[in-house]
Amino acid sequence: MKPERAYDELRRFQLETAYYESLGALAAWDQRTYIPRKGHAHRARQFAALAQLLHRRRTDPRIGEWLDALEGSPLVADPESPAAVNVREWRRDYERAVRVPEKLAVALAEAKSEGESAWESLRAKNNWTAFKPYLKRLLDLQREYAEAVGYETEPYDALLEDYEPGERAERLTRLFDELGAATRRLLEGILGSSVRPPTEVLHRDFPVATQREVVHEVTAALGYNLEGGRIDPTAHPFELSVGPGDVRITTRYYPDYFNAAFFGSVHEAGHAMYEQGLPAEHWGSPMGQAVSMGVHESQSRLWENMVGRSLGFWRRFYPLVQARFAALAGVPLEDFHLAVNAVKPSLIRVEADEVTYNLHILIRFELELALFRGELEVDDLPGAWNEKYRAYLGVTPPDYKDGVMQDVHWGSGLFGYFPTYTLGNVYAAQLFARAEAELGPQEPAFERGEFAPLLEWMRKKIHAHGRRYPPRRLVEEATGEPPTAIYLIHYLEDRFGALYDL
């Protein structure tokens, strides 16, 4: 078969698979937003049936035949061309897929759906005992999956590969050692400071209807195209791309707390802007896909924190917010800005400040490693969780829902996902530093309401490349040097040193 024909047939086949996947994404969004309570069991069976269909397509022997006809041909001679990138990444995906038995793929899909539904209802009831069987089943299946796809050093690396290709537990351990030490030094200084942020101003009356209006206006101003998206309430915020022109985000509202919906929405809008910036003409192929969750998180964390918690941003938006919420009448901008940047060790990861956030991720990383190394059992997880929270953050969860059950990830079988949050912080700081070097200081632009230059820089340097480069290479191409934690450390020291008079 001629390479051109092989590529056309492979491209059409993979595009059809992508349409099935997008229908699954729509079902996943529905499950986490508006599905009737009694519909979860049927949805799990739907996901199992879809997983069987997708597994058969992803392992279709014709994919291997098409790839054989393409590899080494002139069509893929330029390794950075869209055709070459697609062929390389399709080969990677195919080789991983064929190692997973169909029975395991279907069981995982069903267990993930059931686990997520169970988490949503059982967390609210603080019922760890009832949730444990779901978690144990998912852990067993993920261990089986890791053995099936293979690894060089340890099972956890096989899971990392699904979210951050090329990343390894050994390198992450070194990163967390460096970042953890710097974080503890900074946190010690902050806790010893006489500065006391007036965080009580964030815990007043914030009508949910008004919050909805504000988050729609602000995320649109940042660049989230709401004509191709929507914002809905959910138990755990997320972004989900159904396809070109349909990239959705969710948030959760508290009538007596400002931060959750506002910063959660900006965070998810960062994810959505990445998806909206991917080349639509390459949708359904690797060139039209995000390269990794770490890079994805770099976009969400950058917009949430480096943009959304900056003084320039609030000089622009505080008059709007203050005018909408009577609870903020008389609260000076400087007090509000200090409050939204307050640093305090806490229980809840998604509400954690920038300084302590990576300690939350470190805890989950260490627990996941212990689980997959056989050093920790699910029955002992709550005790290990509480012990690490006391040691690293000086707080102890009063119950399961705000402790070991607080995140949806384990209930969804997403082991290996958590480290990408910290990688996202590392990448974001490095990317933002380079963007400022090329565009100039961004806070004056934010104050003027000019967010498009930064978004366009990200579109050019990150979004447009899809999976052209592996994640670490992509960051290096964008910034001129390999990923390093030093930019994040300096960013945190500079911002919070100034806020806390260190």
Q: Render pLDDT for 159-206 as a digit per residue (tens, 0 to 9).
A: 999 999 999 999 999 999 999 999 999 999 999 999 999 999 999 999
Per-residue confidence (pLDDT) for residue 225, from 0 to 100: 98
Residue 382 has pLDDT above 90, yes or no: yes
Q: How confident is the model at residue 236 (pLDDT cuts 50, 70, 90)?
A: confident
DSSP 283-340: TTSGGGS---HHHHHHHHHIIIIIITTSHHHHHHHHHHHHHH-GGGTT--HHHHHHHH
| Segment 113-117 mean pLDDT | 93
Give dist(CA 270, CA 268) in Å, integer: 5
Q: How confident is the model at residue 351 (pLDDT cuts 50, 70, 90)?
A: confident
pLDDT digits (tens, 9 = 90+) for 31-81: 989 999 899 999 989 999 999 999 999 999 999 999 999 999 999 999 999
Note the pTM of the prediction, 2 decimals. 0.94
User: Do 425 and 301 form a contact (C-beta atoms < 8 A)?
Assistant: yes
Give dist(CA 77, CA 79) in Å, integer: 6
Residue 436 has pLDDT above 90, yes or no: yes
Percentage with pLDDT > 90 across the chain: 97
Beta strands across the sheet bearing 239-243: 231-233, 246-251, 239-243
Within 13 A of 424's CA, how many CA atoms are on the CB side? Answer: 29
Percentage with pLDDT > 70 across the chain: 100
Average pLDDT of the chain is 96
Enzyme catalytic residues: 268
Q: How confident is the model at residue 235 (pLDDT cuts 50, 70, 90)?
A: confident
φ, ψ at 405 (rounded to 5°) = -100, 10
Nearest alpha carbon to residue 312 among 145, 129, 450:
450
Give dist(CA 275, CA 459) in Å, integer: 10
Residue 429 has pLDDT above 90, yes or no: yes
DSSP 80-113: TSHHHHHHHHHHHHHHHHTTS-HHHHHHHHHHHH
Give dist(CA 438, CA 453) in Å, integer: 11
Q: How confident is the model at residue 1 (pLDDT cuts 50, 70, 90)?
A: confident
Within 13 A of 187's CA, how many CA atoms are on the CB side? Answer: 20
Per-residue confidence (pLDDT) for residue 413, from 0 to 100: 95
φ, ψ at 451 (rounded to 5°) = -110, -15
Map residue 32 onto helix, strand or coil: coil
Per-residue confidence (pLDDT) for residue 350, from 0 to 100: 85
User: Do 424 and 294 form a contact (C-beta atoms < 8 A)?
Assistant: yes
User: What is the signed CA dihedral for 82, 87, 88, 90, rounded to 10 degrees?
Assistant: 120
What are the residues facing 454 on neighbouring strands? Answer: none
Contacting residues for 106 by C-beta, under 8 A, at least 6 apart: 48, 51, 52, 55
